[in-house]
Structure formats: structure tokens, C-alpha cells
A and B are shown apart, each in its own frame.
Chain A
């Protein structure tokens, strides 16, 4: 007797909902066990942290940022291009936006300045990603180590700038840039200390435009086919090399936009060293893109869950441990469970005699 997996003809009913749901529940349970066994965290405390995070308004900003980044990565992943470089791309976007805000005279026209900040951020993020694209397209160099390495190069470039030419005048002993002028800071929604109109608009625009691109443009279709069969595209007459570069550039541009949003909508300045101040959204967005199963409509849902897990980890407050470790356990457990459970949405189990 053997257990055999057979591919489903029709997808599992409600699989798109049940599988992520079960993954989260099981993942959280596994994390609870781990936290109890290793640091003695009470399961009740753990679970209540998770529960309260799901309804905490604290997560909304993270949710918005992760949605944008999730969409950025979804574009690349749809083409089977592993963009692990969202971190570097988004921070370069932050830097580009900082340049406009602090070192040009554009802030005199705030509307223009804000738009230019976002656009320049997209340009830099896109160009940064495109470098990896060129190496992949023309030299078949795997994008995973390249995009990853470029994260560090990006960090160090920005660190150099912040410590050097960009060092602020009013810093009170901290190594950081000045705060960006008030008029180019994004406008807070009444009643909130973190959420801004502009970030909301940016999030919605990102989803809408990307959805349209993927479904109704030939570029979008080709990126999707690139994900499973680049040779077919080549034989069909599509320039696959350019396609790879474009897909990565779009991915990096969207990430860059988020970087601009992070500067104007939240951080308002860049502090040295970046490695210590980053929330590592560029990496957790990878989980978001995966949980969405490359369906753009599921990205906000996935972002919601991941930002809740984020918050849960931070609020755990285990002695001596930064929130990061607990968060990583949550995220890792959920992603691993999801990766395994996802098999059942595509395959059914059969018991075979003989």
C-alpha cells in the first residue's frame, strides 16, 4: 500500500482560503510550542499577543508597506525571478527621495516635490534591480546572490552618504540626516499618528495598476509565461532578455516607491547605520508574495497576516530578546507550514494498493 499524490484537475474548493488559514493557525501553534519550550513563554501570553495584533491599529502602516512590497515582488516572482533585493531597492528609493527633499529646491513646490520624490525613488529602485536583470539576461548569472549582495552594497552606499556629505546639521549627536522639510512630509489622516493619505493612495494605485498590467497587457502575460517557460517565449518572438530586465526593473521601481513612502510618510530622516534601523521589510515581503500564491488579490490579505505576526513578535517582549527573534519564528513557522500545505491545493492524496 502506498500513498500517492495525484494532480487535481479541478482545484480544491475553497483551497485559496482554507490553506492559508490552516497554515496560519498551525504555524502559530508551532511557534507557541517553540517559544514555550525554549524560553518558557506562556502559551496564553503568546496567543493573546497574536490575537491582539490581528486587531491592533499599530499594524496598519506595516500592512500598507508590505502590500506595496508584496506587489513589487509578485511581479518578479510571477516571472520566476527571485528578487531578494527589495531591501536594497527600497532603501535606495528612500535615499533618492531624501536627496530631493533635503538637497534640492523642489520642496518649495510641495506637490511637485512629493511626486518627484516618488518618481526618482522608482527610477533608482528600478535601475538597481535592472543591474541584476542585465547580469541574469546576458550572462545567466543567478539573480539570488546578485540581488542579495546588492542589498549590502546599497546599505553601505547610503551609510557612506549619511555619515559624510548628507550628515545633518541638527542631529543631537546622532549620525543621521536632517529631518525633511515639513511641507513634503505626507499628510496624516486625522486620528492617526502614522497613516498618511499619500501612502494609502500609493498602495491602492500600486495594486490597481499592477493588476491591470498583469491581466490586460501583453507585457504582463509575458512576464507570467516567463515564469514557467522562457524558451517558448523566445520561439514566439519575444525578446526574453529585455523582458527579464523590464520585469526586474518594474519590481525594483515599485519597491523604490515604497522607500520614498517610508521616508516621507514615516521616518522623515535616514539614520546610520541602516542595517540597524531597517525593519527588513524587503525580506518579509518575500513571505507576503508567497502567501499570496502569486494572486495579486491575495497580497493585501497576506500583508495583513504578516504584519500582524510582526506586531505579535514585537509585543512578546521576552527578556533579553529583541522582538525580531519571536517574529522570525512566527513567520518561519507559518511559511514552512504553508509551503507544505499548499501541496494539497494542487494535489489530492490517494491510497494505492499494489
Chain B
């Protein structure tokens, strides 16, 4: 458990006014087949940093999206400075000074920074020229300490830069309440600290911040108050200096808290056989620049190699190249001594390679189709004619093993909750991965319990079945939990490689941002 340097970030918190800036009363929300929020009461005070904690599916994101007008509550009311308000769209929310920044940048790639920002500035009418905001942006961004070129197209920015622009945008459109929906969760600590400083500043000047996270230490680091949600209900709201991380954990998971462990899974003893050998690999990124610049990496059978790195440093492209979804410009990839460089996904998959992509809805499972169909569509599962009885059996097996909550194997996957959709994907790929598993953020959308279970299964597959695992993750905790070898990727190169049980976290984080 981390020792938090909380003193630098928490002010002497005291109530500045009696009326909450934003207040939520008796809010409930239902989605098809699931209750997202149940009778929630929640207050945001002026000048506070309020963490909203809960595992995946607890309803934190839904609550915040309701505050931002993206969803409408089935029941309940919202109050701003004591007055009842109706927030039907982000435009309404912005009017009240409520702005959300989420984990995935919302700004639009094909537009410039200035264009993205002016869209949210009411005082500029539709006929105004985009160049009118240029100065405004330059001035404000200097104030805040973020430097950005207003005329650059967003697709040219890195993830961190995009998140910075998102926050800048929020300030420029007059945010008094910042809703950060896991916006900084996947930044490494050094980058995160920059954001902490800025958040604290913002709160001290009278703004409010709602920080959604599922990492307890993050809340302990920065928040004044913490509200814990579980299964759509508020478990409790506490002041940070009155609780310990264990208290919080208990609130989040109740009876399951014993299962949560940040401890390492047993280190595997890798076999002699090399499962995956990557030599001097060069892979082009999406924007005409090489994303992978001469990577050398070896994964032995039965070994879990975890790639640590900030998003956007080439791990996505590396994983895609290994599975065959992206062209290799130079270098080679060998799978159990067989050259599979650029041989295509079909061939590589046929060799028993499983793939858990970073965006499950886009590259993993087809939401409109059922679990059965998501199994049957794989060339490695069915040949020309489909034997539905066999597919059904496999589906049932996976549903049981992974505790997937679904009305039936024939239900379209989109009706399942986010975590269960991920379970469908992960269970399928773990089943297929007979010799190698490549994954990128495999447990991102999963709740803590399932995430641990998945990591355990992956580790078991490695230890017992000798499957090689190449896993990139933006969650450093996860890497430390599961990897036998930790490789750090930075700017498309592997800048360090360490045995998993002896690696020093600070050193790895330094390598990630150097």
C-alpha cells in the first residue's frame, strides 16, 4: 500500500459556505436490464475536491453523466446553489458551470484545438470566426501553466496533451465544478502530480472538483471528502482525514474485500521454449510517424511479460503488430520459431493466439450479436458450416466459468453491462489462446474482483499450460501484480526490462516519462 504524500495536496479543509454548489437528491436511473443508480443523494461543496469511489459498474460515471446532461434521471432532482434545475444537455450543464472531462478525450480529431474550444463558448455566435478565440486561448493557457497551439489539429496530439486540452477547455468555458471521470487515472504519477497541483489550485480559488476513480490511493492523495458508491447506492460520504484506506475498501466491496489484494501473483518459472520473439521491430503509427522504433522483446512459454508505459508510446501499435492487425515495416516476429511477420490476423490466430484489445467494443466483441455469435464468428471456432449445438455448449461453459450476467447466450451483448461485455471478450480469448495471449489493458473495464480473477487465470494459463503472455497495460498496479518480466516502453522503444518480483516502481515510472 502506497504511502500518500497527502499533506502537500490537502488544504485545511473547512466549509466555505453552507449551501452546496451542486446537490443531487433521490436520483435513480435504469438502463435496459440493469439499475445504474438507486436513490442517490450527493453534495458538492464550494472549494472542495470530492472523490467518488466505487468499482466498475457502481454508478459513478452514470451519476456524473447525469450532472453533465448526457443522461436524464428517471427520478430525482438536481439543485445548483439551492435552486432546482433541469439539466437536459451538456449545454445546460455548462451554463451552470458544470463541466466534465472523461477518460477518453471528447475533443474531435479532425478539428483544431481552437475549433473544439469555441464550440463550447456561448458568447461566440455561430457566425464568429474561429480566430477570435486564439488570443483568449493563448492567454488563459499561460495562466494555468499549460502550453498549447490553438491551431493544431487534435489528431496530432498525444493522449496527455489531449487531456490537458480537455481541462483547458473546461476552464475556458467557465467551469466552476469540474467533473473528472477517471480523467487522470491512467497517467503515471509524475504527470498525475502536475494535475494534482492544478486541481488543488482550482479548489483553493473556489472551484469544486469531483474526481471519479476506482483507485483508493488516488482518493486518499487528493480528496477532501470521499463518497463511496456500490451497485448504484451511496454507501457513505466521509472526510478524507477521518478514514483509512481499509475503511474505504470495506465500504466499496463489503464482503468481497478479502479477495482484493494488491499483492503479486506467484512468479512463474518460464519454459525453455521461446513463445514469441520480436526482433528490431518497426511499426508505423496512425499519423505517418513510426510508433514502434526498433523493439526487441522475448516472451518465453509460460512467462508473462508486462509492458508498462504511458498510453501513446507505441504499446498499442506493438500489440496490434503482433496479432497481425498492423503492418510491420522492418524487423521480425517469430511465434514458436515460425516467422509470422505480416502474415495476417487469420494465420496468426490459427496458431492459437488470443487477443484482448484495448477497445473491446470496437475490436473485441460485436455488440449487436449474441455471445454465441461472438464465438461462432471466429475462424478458429467454426469452419464453413456452423454447428450451433457445439457453440451453445461452449457459450454456456464460459458463462458459468466467468460468471457472466446475461439473460441468455442468445442475448445481444450490448444489453449487458460494461463489465460483463468485457468478461465475454476475455473469456473467449482466454479459451482460444492455446499458445500465446496478447493483451492491452485487459482488465480496464472490469470491477476489482473480476479483474483479479482474470489476472489469476492468465497467470495460471502461463504456469500450467505454458502459454506465453504479452500484456501491455496502463495500470501499473496490474503489471506489478502479474508480470514475470516488466518491460518499459517509451517513445516506441523498450527502455528497460526488469524481473517482476524485484522491480522498483519509482525507477519504472521515471523510465516511463523520461
Contacts and interface: CB of A to CB of B under 8 A. Distances in A.
Task: Check A-B contact in the complex, CB < 8 A.
Answer: yes
A6 B366 CA distance: 21
A238 B377 contact: yes
B162 to A, nearest CB: 22
B369 A228 contact: yes
Contacts of A231: 362-363
A229 interface: yes
Interface in B366-415: 366-369, 373-374, 376-380, 382-386, 388, 415
A352 B363 contact: no
A47 to B, nearest CB: 39
Nearest to B349: A237
A220 B71 CA distance: 37
A235 B364 contact: yes
A2 B88 contact: yes
A336 interface: no
Interface residues of A, number: 28
Contacts, number: 96
A341 interface: no
Interface string B72-113: 111111100000001010000000000000000000000000
B65 to A, nearest CB: 15
Interface in A267-310: none
Contact of B385 (A8, A216, A234): A216
B377 A228 contact: no
Contact of B32 (A7, A217, A237, A238): A7
A354 B344 CA distance: 53
B365 interface: yes
A140 interface: no
A4 B89 CA distance: 13
Contacts of A354: 72-73, 75-78, 86
Chain B: interface size category: 35 or more
A8 B30 CA distance: 12
A112 interface: no
B33 interface: yes
A227 B378 CA distance: 16
B137 interface: no
Given A231-B363, A236-B377, A218 B73 contact: no
B386 A218 contact: yes
Contacts of A227: 368
B452 to A, nearest CB: 26
A51 interface: no
Nearest to B366: A229
B350 interface: yes
Contacts of A232: 362-366, 374, 377
B480 interface: no
Given A228-B368, A235-B364, A218 B379 contact: yes
A107 B173 CA distance: 78
Given A221-B373, A229-B368, A231-B362, A237 B380 contact: yes
Interface of A: 2, 4, 6-9, 216-219, 221-222, 224-225, 227-229, 231-239, 352, 354
8 contacts: A4-B72, A221-B382, A227-B368, A229-B369, A233-B366, A237-B379, A239-B344, A354-B77
Given A224-B369, A232-B366, 19 more contacts: A7-B32, A216-B385, A218-B382, A224-B373, A225-B366, A225-B377, A228-B367, A229-B366, A229-B368, A232-B374, A234-B325, A235-B363, A235-B364, A236-B345, A236-B379, A238-B346, A238-B379, A352-B74, A354-B73
